[in-house]
A and B are shown apart, each in its own frame.
Chain A
Amino acid sequence: MVRKAAFLVTYFVTFFTKSLYSAFYLVSDLAFASLHLQIAISKPMDTILPVLLFVVIAAAVSVGLIILPRLVAPRRSGAVKEMPYESGMDPIHDTRRRFDVRFHLVAVTFLVFDVELLFLYPWAVASRSPAGIDAAVADGMLSSRGLAFAGGLIFILLVVVGFAYDWRKGVFRWR
C-alpha cells in the first residue's frame, strides 16, 4: 500500500510535469505561428520565407522517411517479423495482464533527473550569456542576479526533496 501510494504520487507528479512542458511547447508554437501570421499579413514575402521553408523541410523529412525504407530496406518476412512488436510483448493477450510495477518506477525516477536537467540547461546558459539574466536585470524584469540564482537553487532543492522521498520510500531497491 505504501509502495502503491508512493508510486502513484511520483508517477503522477513526474508524468504531469512532463505533459506540462509539452503543453508549453504547444503554447509557444501557436504563439509563434500567430506572430508570424501577423508578420505575413503586414510585411512582404521575405519574413515569412523561413516559416515556409520550415514547413516544406518538415514535410519533406517525414514523407522521405516513409518512402526511403520502402525503396532501400531489405524485405524478409516471417511469423515473428510480422508481429507489431518484434522483440516486445505479445500483442494478443488478456488486457488485464499484470506487469511489474518496477518498470514504471524506473521510468519515473528517470524523469526526475530528466526534468531537472531540462530546466537547468537554460538557467545555466542564461547566467553567462549577455542576452540572458543580465539583460533581464537591465530591462527591469528581475531586480537582481541573485534572485535568478536563488530561484535555480530552490528548484534544485525541490528536486532533491522528491529524490529523497523516492529513496526513502524504497523506489531504488530492486526487490
Chain B
Amino acid sequence: MMTTSLETFLLLSPEITLFLAALIAYLAAAFSGLRAGWLVAVTGLGIAILVSGNQPDSGEAISSGPITIDGFSFYIRLLTYTTGLVLALIQSGDYWKSAVQDDSSQHKRRGTGEEAGTFLILLAGLSLVGLANDLVLLFISLELVSIPTYILLALKRTDAAGQEASLKYFFLSLVASALFLYSLACLYGLGGSTSLLAIGNQIQSLGSIAPPTIEGSIVVGTITASMAAVLLPVMLGTALAGVAFRMAAVPMHFYAPDVYEGTSTSNAAVLSTLPKIAGIVMLARIIALAIPPLGSGQTVGPVAEILLLQTWHLIAIVAAVTMTVGNCMALLQNNLRRLLACSSIAHAGYLLVGLAAVTAAATSEQGPLGGESITANALTLDGLASTLFYLATYVLATVGLFGGLIYLGHRWPEWSTSSNKRPRLEEIETVDDLNGLSTTNPVAAFCLATFLLSLAGIPPLPGFWGKLSLVTSSLSIGSGDAAFGDRRAWFIGLSIVLVLNAAIAAAYYLRLITAMYFKSTDKGVQADGGLSSGLAMVVCLIVLLSISIRPRGLFTSALRAGNTLSGNIATETMPPQTTQISVGDAMIASEIQKGNR
C-alpha cells in the first residue's frame, strides 16, 4: 500500500515539471547566457497546471509511497501554482522592459535565470508540503521552501539593508525549522513510524483498550498514555512555534516588518504569501493526526482528546493576540512595506481562527469537523474550509497589491549597484508616495483600492466572504464540556475580536485609499516597473471581481478540500490493518466511503 513505484513519480509530474524547468533555467543562464529565465518559469508553471488534473472528490485519496493526493493537497497545489504564476509575472516585472529596450549588457539585470529557477524550486517544494504523508518528506519539502527563500532574499537586493533582511530571515528561519524538527522527532517517538497515518492511528488509539498494530511500523515497547502526555504538549508547542514563524503569527512575528522593509518589493510579495500557505498546511496536517476518521465510528482516545483541547486553546489565543498586535502595529506605520508586513501578521491571525474552530469542532460529540455534511449552502462552511477560502482571497489581494506597487515603481531600484547614471525616478516607498494616484494613474489607483477594500473585508469583495465564513464557522461551535471553561464563550469572544480587528484594519487600509483619491501631489508617479507586473495586477483584479460576483465555485472547492483532510484518514484506516473496528462499524464506514465517491 505504501509502495513507492513508478506511479508515485507519475503523480508527482507537476512538481517534476517544475524541477526540470528550474534546471533548464539554471543551465540556459549559465551556458547560452539566456536571460529569459522568467519566460521558462511561466512556461513551466503553465505546463504544471495543465498536468495537475482535476480535483478529486472529498472521500477520495490516492496514496503512493510517501505522498497522498486528496482534495486538500490538490487545493494547495493549485493555489500554489496559480499564485506562483502571478508572482512570476510580478518578479519579472522589472526585467522585461530593460531586456526589450536597450541591448547593452550593463542595463540588464543579471541573474534572472538563477532567480527564476530558484523560485520554481520554491514552488515545487511548497506543493510537496501539501502532498507529504510522511514526516521525512514533510520536513524535506519545508526546507525546499526555506532554502530558495534565503537565496531569493540574498540575490534580489544586495545593499546593506537587503543583507540585514536576508540574514535576519535566515537565522530566524533556521531556529523555526529546528523547533519544527523537534516536534517531528516527538511524533516519531510516539508513532514509531515516519508515516503520518501510523502516527495518527497511534495517537488516536492511545489510552484506548486495544492498541492497534499497524503494518510496517516499528512499535518498540509500549507507549503509555502518560508518556504521550509528556511528549504531546512539547510536540504541540514546538510545532506551533515553527508554524508561527512561517505564518508570521505572534510569538514569531517580529521579523516581518524589518525583513519586508529591507528586501525588494517582489520578495515581500513572495514572503507574505507562500510561507503562509506552508504554515497552514503544516498546522492542518498536525491537527488531522488527532482527528478520527470521518464517519468511521471510531471514538477519539483520551490522549487525542486532550491534545485537541490544548491545540484549540493555544491556537485561539495565538489568533486573537496576532490579529490585535498586527493591526495595532500597522496603524503606526508610514513605510508601505512595513505596513503591509503588519497587515500580513494580522491576516495570519484571521487564518488561525478557522483552524481553532475545526479543532474545537472535532472534540464535540457530533463528530469531526462539526459533523456537517457537504451542502451547497455556502454559509455552513466548516473551519478548515473557511481558512482555505480566506487564504485564497488573501493571497489574491496581497499579490495584486504588491504587483501594483512594483508596477508603479521603476526598474532602477535605489539599491542598484551599477555605476551607470541612473534615471531619477520616484520609488513607491511610503504612504505619501501614493498621493494623488487617482489623477496620475487612475487604473492602478482603482486596482489598488479594490485590493485594499478586499483585505479590509468590505461586503461584495471576496475578503468579506472569507471573514464571514470564518466568523460563522467559529460561531457554529456548540457548547461542550471543555476543560478550561465554556467553549461557546471562547469562540464568541474570538469572533468579537475578529470583527473588532476588521474595523481597526479598515482604518489603515482606508488611509491608503484616502491618500490615493483625496490628496493631491505635484510630482507624478512613474509607472515604470514593467508591464508584466501591471498585467499581474489586472489579472488579480479580474479574478477578484469574478470571485466576488460568484464565490460559490471557490467555496465548494475549499469545502471539498477542507473535508478531505480527515476524510483522507478515513479511507486509509478503514482496511483490515486496524483490527479494533468491529465488523458492523467497518460496514457502515465503507458505506459512507462509497457515498462520498
Contact = CB atoms under 8 A, between A and B. Distances in A.
Contact of B151 (A13, A26, A161): A13
Interface stretch (A62-70, A80-88, A108-116, A137-145): A137-145
A107 B359 CA distance: 48
A102 interface: no
B31 A12 contact: no
B155 A8 contact: yes
Given A31-B189, A141-B3, A147-B5, A1 B111 contact: yes
B134 to A, nearest CB: 11
Interface in B195-227: 216, 218, 220-224, 227
B27 interface: yes
Interface stretch (A35-43, A52-60, A117-125): A35-43
A16 B151 CA distance: 11
B150 interface: yes
B143 A20 contact: yes
B188 A31 contact: yes
Interface stretch (B174-182, B257-265, B363-371): B174-182
Interface centre among B110, B118, B185 (most CB of A within 10 A): B185
Contacts of B192: 35
A160 to B, nearest CB: 11
Given A27-B188, A42-B221, A5 B26 contact: no
A35 B187 CA distance: 11
Contacts of A6: 114
B376 interface: no
B62 interface: no
Contacts of B224: 41
Given A8-B154, A23-B178, A147-B6, A161 B27 contact: yes
Contact of A12 (B111, B147, B158): B147
Interface in A1-33: 1-2, 4-6, 8-9, 12-13, 16, 19-20, 23, 26-27, 30-31
Interface string B114-147: 1000100000000000000000000110010001
Given A140-B2, A141-B4, A147-B6, A12 B220 contact: no
A5 B4 contact: no
B184 interface: yes
Contacts of B443: none
Interface string B146-184: 010011001100100000000000000010011001101
Contact of B30 (A38, A41, A43, A169): A169
Nearest to A167: B30
Given A31-B185, A34-B185, A39-B220, A161 B26 contact: yes
Contacts of A16: 143, 147, 150
A39 B150 contact: no
Given A2-B110, A5-B114, A161-B26, A30 B189 contact: yes
Interface centre among B3, B150, B154, B182 (most CB of A within 10 A): B3
Given A27-B185, A35-B189, A41 B221 contact: yes
A135 interface: no
A104 interface: no
Given A4-B158, A140-B2, A165-B26, A9 B143 contact: no
Contacts of B186: 30, 34
A13 B143 CA distance: 11
Contacts of A139: 216
B221 A39 contact: yes
Contacts of A43: 221
A152 B1 CA distance: 23
A49 interface: no
B209 to A, nearest CB: 18
B418 to A, nearest CB: 8
Interface in B9-30: 23, 26-27, 30
Given A31-B188, A38-B222, A23 B181 contact: yes
B417 interface: yes
A13 B181 CA distance: 20
Interface in A125-175: 139-144, 147, 158, 161, 164-165, 168-169
Contacts of B118: 9
A107 to B, nearest CB: 17
Nearest to B170: A12
Nearest to A161: B23
Given A8-B151, A9-B118, A161-B26, A1 B189 contact: no
B23 A141 contact: no
A13 B224 CA distance: 42
A1 B114 CA distance: 12
B490 to A, nearest CB: 33
A23 B6 CA distance: 29
A47 to B, nearest CB: 9
Nearest to A16: B147
Contacts of A168: 30-31
A171 to B, nearest CB: 11
A34 B188 CA distance: 9
Interface of B: 1-6, 23, 26-27, 30-31, 110-111, 114, 118, 139-140, 143, 147, 150-151, 154-155, 158, 174, 177-178, 181-182, 184-186, 188-189, 192, 216, 218, 220-224, 227, 231, 417
Given A30-B188, A42-B221, 13 more contacts: A1-B111, A12-B154, A16-B143, A26-B181, A26-B185, A30-B182, A31-B185, A38-B221, A38-B227, A41-B224, A147-B5, A147-B6, A164-B30
Top 7 closest pairs, chain A to chain B, by CB: A34-B189, A143-B5, A38-B221, A30-B185, A42-B221, A5-B111, A168-B30
12 contacts: A4-B158, A5-B155, A12-B147, A16-B147, A27-B184, A30-B185, A31-B185, A35-B218, A41-B224, A141-B3, A142-B3, A164-B30
Interface of A: 1-2, 4-6, 8-9, 12-13, 16, 19-20, 23, 26-27, 30-31, 34-35, 37-39, 41-43, 139-144, 147, 158, 161, 164-165, 168-169
